[in-house]
Chains A and B, each alone.
Chain A
Amino acid sequence: MEFSGRKWRKLRLAGDQRNASYPHCLQFYLQPPSENISLIEFENLAIDRVKLLKSVENLGVSYVKGTEQYQSKLESELRKLKFSYRENLEDEYEPRRRDHISHFILRLAYCQSEELRRWFIQQEMDLLRFRFSILPKDKIQDFLKDSQLQFEAISDEEKTLREQEIVASSPSLSGLKLGFESIYKIPFADALDLFRGRKVYLEDGFAYVPLKDIVAIILNEFRAKLSKALALTARSLPAVQSDERLQPLLNHLSHSYTGQDYSTQGNVGKISLDQIDLLSTKSFPPCMRQLHKALRENHHLRHGGRMQYGLFLKGIGLTLEQALQFWKQEFIKGKMDPDKFDKGYSYNIRHSFGKEGKRTDYTPFSCLKIILSNPPSQGDYHGCPFRHSDPELLKQKLQSYKISPGGISQVDDCGFSLNHPNQFFCESQRILNGGKDIKKEPIQPETPQPKPSVQKTKDASSALASLNSSLEMDMEGLEDYFSEDS
C-alpha cells in the first residue's frame, strides 16, 4: 500500500470492474489492497474496524454466538459502520472496499504481540463466521472456489456408495438419506475439528464433509492463514513503523484494544479518603459501589474483592500511602490486629502498586476481565453485578440506589461505550463537574452498545430478559442517578 503525502487519488473504477474486484461480500483477505488512500481515510478506516471488532467481542460475551439476537445486533453494527456483510444490497463496492482495506491496516497494529494477534484472529474469525452464516447457499460454491480452497463436491455416484456411512457419521445430518445435500471430499488433516470428535466420515485419508460442516473447516483455514500472515507482517513491521505518519496511529490502535488502562492518571493524589463514601454513591459503577459497601459493613474483603476494588481505587487516584491507610483503618474496625494487617495485607497492597516483587504496576481491571475471570462465590463481593448477581437481587439493589427509569438506557447515549469501571468513574465525574452534556435521545433498545443494566448474560438469559424490560420501565433520568444522595 502506498501513501502519497497530502495529495491522494482515489481509484475510480467503472461499474463492472468495481464489482469484479470484490465479487463477494466476504473474503479471506488473501491479497492486500493496492490503492492509494489519504492518511485521513487510513485512520478512519482503522478506527472503524477497531470499533467493529470490539463490538464483535462484546456481543460474543453478552450473547450466545449464532442466536438471533447476536446475529441481528452484529448485522446492525456492520450496517452502522458501513462494512460489507450481505449480498444483494445496493452498491456493494464501497463497503467491501472499506472492509478489505481496514482489515489490512489492522494487521499492522495487531501483529505486534502474541496477545494482540490472538485477539485479532479471534474477532476476525467470529466476523467471518457470521458473514458466512448469512451467505445464500448458491453463493457458497462460488465463494469457496474463489478463495482457493480445495473443496470439491463429490459426484452423486460417490455419494450413494457411502450414503449410510456419511449419514451415520455427521451429527449435522438428520434422517437416513442424503438427498440433495452437497458432500465435500477434503484431506482429513484439513478437517481436524470434525474428525477428532468423530463427527465426519473418514475413508482412505479423506473426510466426507456435508456443506453445513464446511464452516468449521473454513474457519480453521482462515485462522491458519491469518496467523501466518500476521507473523510475516510482524517481520516487515519495522519498515512500516519508521514511517512517522503511521507510528502514532498504529500505537494508538493496539492500545485501544485494551482501552485506556487507567494506570497512569493525572489525578493521583487528588482524592482524599473522606471523599470515598460520597464518591461511591455518586460516581462508582455498581460493582465498586457494592464492594465498598461490603467493606464498610464487614470491615473485610476477600482477595478477589481486594484486588478488584483496590486497583480501581488506585485508578481513581489513591496513592499508596492513602491505600494503606484506607484498608488498615477499615480492617482494624473488624478487630484485626494492626500487626497482622502489616504482616499479611500491606505487602499485597504495596505489591499491587508495583513496589514489591517483580514490581509490576498492576492495572485496574476492565469490565471484560471482571466478567470473564474469577467468578465470585459465597462470601465474595467482587465480579460484575450484571453478570454475576441473581436477577432479583440485582433489581432490588438498583432500586435501592434509586435508579430512575430511562436513565440507564440513556447511559448508552452518552456517546461512549462502557467497558471499564474507571471509565465509568471518569465520565461520571466529568458530567458532574460540568463536562459535556448528555444527549437526550429516545430509548433505543436495539443498539448493540453494551449497556451495563441491560447486558444479557449467557447463563441467565430469560431471567435477565424480564429484568431488563422491567428496568426500562422503572428507571428515571441519568442525572438523577448521578446526583442523588443516599
Chain B
Amino acid sequence: METFDPTELPELLKLYYRRLFPYSQYYRWLNYGGVIKNYFQHREFSFTLKDDIYIRYQSFNNQSDLEKEMQKMNPYKIDIGAVYSHRPNQHNTVKLGAFQAQEKELVFDIDMTDYDDVRRCRSSADICPKCWTLMTMAIRIIDRALKEDFGFKHRLWVYSGRRGVHCWVCDESVRKLSSAVRSGIVEYLSLVKGGQDVKKKVHLSEKIHPFIRKSINIIKKYFEEYALVNQDILENKESWDKILALVPETIHDELQQSFQKSHNSLQRWEHLKKVASRYQNNIKNDKYGPWLEWEIMLQYCFPRLDINVSKGINHLLKSPFSVHPKTGRISVPIDLQKVDQFDPFTVPTISFICRELDAISTNEEEKEENEAESDVKHRTRDYKKTSLAPYVKVFEHFLENLDKSRKGELLKKSDLQKDF
C-alpha cells in the first residue's frame, strides 16, 4: 500500500482518536443495550502507551468518558478485558478477594506463526497471499462450528493487524460461560497436536466425528490451490520427505518412485491418494475413509488455536479498531460473506486513512469555530469518507444483529411474564 512510519504514530493516533475512531458504535457494542446495570462501567480496558508503558484496570463511565481518556492518553494499543464485579479503576479499594472477573466474550486468536512448520513461503511474523489462505480456511472451519455445532449467533471476526485473526463471540449466554467450558470448546475445535518434536500431529480414529468430516470438506475446497500449487508441498525431495514422514514406512519406497516420475505436486498428490487408500483397504474395512490423506490435509491446513487466549475469563485481547503499532494497520472486522476476498494487504493503515482525512478536510469549505461541535459532526462524516467506512459497516451489521436478538429476548421475557 504505502509505507507506514512508526515514528509518526503519536501524531497519527491523535488524529485517529479525535476524528476517526468509531466511538458510538464501539460503545453500542460493549454496552450491550444497557440491559445489565454497569456492564460497560465494569469492563476492563488496558492501554499500552508510548515507550511500552502498560496500564491495566482502566474503566470508563460512559462513551464520552471513554473518548476523553483515549484522546488524552493516546494509546498505542488497546486491549479489552473482562466485565468485573466492580469498576476496574477502583479495584484497589475493594476487599481482597471480592474483585472478580465475571463475564467476557468467548475469544479466539489464530496466529500465523503457529503454522510455521507447514508453510514454506514465509515464517514468523511475515505473511503473504500464499499463506493467508490458512486464515481463510481457519475462519470458515471455526465459524461453521461455532454457528452450527454450538449455536452461537453473534460472532465478530477481526483482522489482528499483522499476522492473524481474532474472533469475538458475544452471545449473552456465551459471555457467562465458565473457564472450564471455554477450554472444552477449544478442545473440541482442536485436531493438530504436538510441538516441534512431534512429526505426525493428526491422528484420526475409525469413527470420524461430523465436526471433522465437515472441516475436511471445507479444506478440500482450498487444498489444491493452496497446498499443491501455492505452497507446492510436494515440490521436491526436501518438501515431500516431510509428507512421507506422515505415512507408514511400508509405502515410502513406492511413493518415492512415483514422486520421482511425476512433474508436479498435483500429480504426486494423486499418486499419494491412490497408494494411501490401497494401504488403508488392506488393513481396514472398505467402509472407512481415506485417513492418511485426510491426516495430511489436516496437518497442513486445519486451524491451530491458542487455548490460553480462550479459556481465561480475565484474558485481555486486542480491541477491534485499535492500531497495530508495527504495521500501522487497523484491526478491522472481517465480512464473513466475503471471507475469500479478504486481503490483509489492502487493509488500511492509520497513515493512509489520516492522509485521506486530510485530503477531505482541505477540500471542504466549512471551517467551524466551535471545535467540539465540528469534531462530532466531522466524525460522523469523516470515517465514512475514508477507507475505514466499509469495515465500520460490517461492524454495524454485527451490532444490528445483536440489537435484534436483544429485542427478541426482551419480548420473550415480557411475554412469559404476561402469560403468568
Contacts and interface: CB of A to CB of B under 8 A. Distances in A.
Indicate whether A and B interact: yes
B409 interface: no
Contacts of B150: 188, 202, 205
State which size class the interface on A falls in.
10 to 19
A165 B210 contact: yes
Nearest to B150: A205
B149 A203 contact: yes
B184 A205 contact: no
B188 A198 contact: yes
A165 B214 CA distance: 11
B5 interface: no
Contacts, number: 46
B183 A168 contact: no
A201 B180 contact: no
A144 interface: no
B177 A204 contact: no
A195 B208 contact: no
Given A204-B151, A206-B151, A192 B180 contact: yes
Interface string B133-165: 000000000000000111110000000000000
Interface residues of B, number: 20
A133 to B, nearest CB: 24
Interface in B180-213: 180-181, 183-185, 187-188, 207-213
A7 interface: no
A189 interface: yes
A83 B323 CA distance: 66
B151 A196 contact: no
Given A168-B208, A196-B187, A197-B187, A205 B151 contact: yes
B5 to A, nearest CB: 46
A169 interface: yes
Interface in A150-172: 165, 168-169, 171
The residue among B150, B208, B209, B211 with the most chain A CB atoms within 10 A of its own CB is B209
B210 A169 contact: yes
Chain B interface SS verdict (over half): helix
A316 to B, nearest CB: 42
A165 B211 CA distance: 9
A198 B181 contact: no
A125 to B, nearest CB: 16
A165 B149 CA distance: 12
A204 B207 CA distance: 21
Contacts of B185: 196
B151 A195 contact: no
B149 to A, nearest CB: 4
Nearest to A202: B149
A352 B181 CA distance: 42
Interface in B305-329: none
A202 B184 contact: no
A206 B173 CA distance: 14
B177 to A, nearest CB: 7
A202 B181 CA distance: 14
Contacts of B152: 205
Nearest to A176: B287
B180 A198 contact: no
Nearest to A174: B207
A204 B148 CA distance: 5
A223 to B, nearest CB: 12
Contact of A168 (B151, B177, B188, B207): B207
Nearest to B287: A176
A195 B188 contact: yes
Nearest to B186: A196
The residue among B149, B177, B183 with the most chain A CB atoms within 10 A of its own CB is B149
Nearest to A192: B184
B211 A202 contact: yes
A206 B213 CA distance: 19
B202 to A, nearest CB: 13
Contacts of A169: 207, 209-210
B184 A168 contact: no
Contacts of B183: 196
Interface in A167-212: 168-169, 171, 188-189, 192, 195-198, 201-206
Contacts of A195: 184, 188
A204 B153 CA distance: 10
Contacts of A206: 151
A196 B211 CA distance: 12
A359 B211 CA distance: 55
Nearest to B213: A168
A202 B185 CA distance: 11
A189 B212 CA distance: 20
Nearest to B145: A202
A338 B183 CA distance: 54
B151 A189 contact: no
A418 B402 CA distance: 63
B210 A196 contact: no
Contacts of B177: 189
Given A168-B210, A205-B151, A205-B152, 4 more contacts: A192-B180, A192-B181, A201-B209, A204-B149
16 contacts: A168-B208, A168-B210, A168-B213, A169-B207, A189-B181, A196-B184, A196-B187, A198-B212, A201-B209, A202-B150, A202-B211, A203-B148, A203-B149, A203-B151, A204-B149, A204-B151
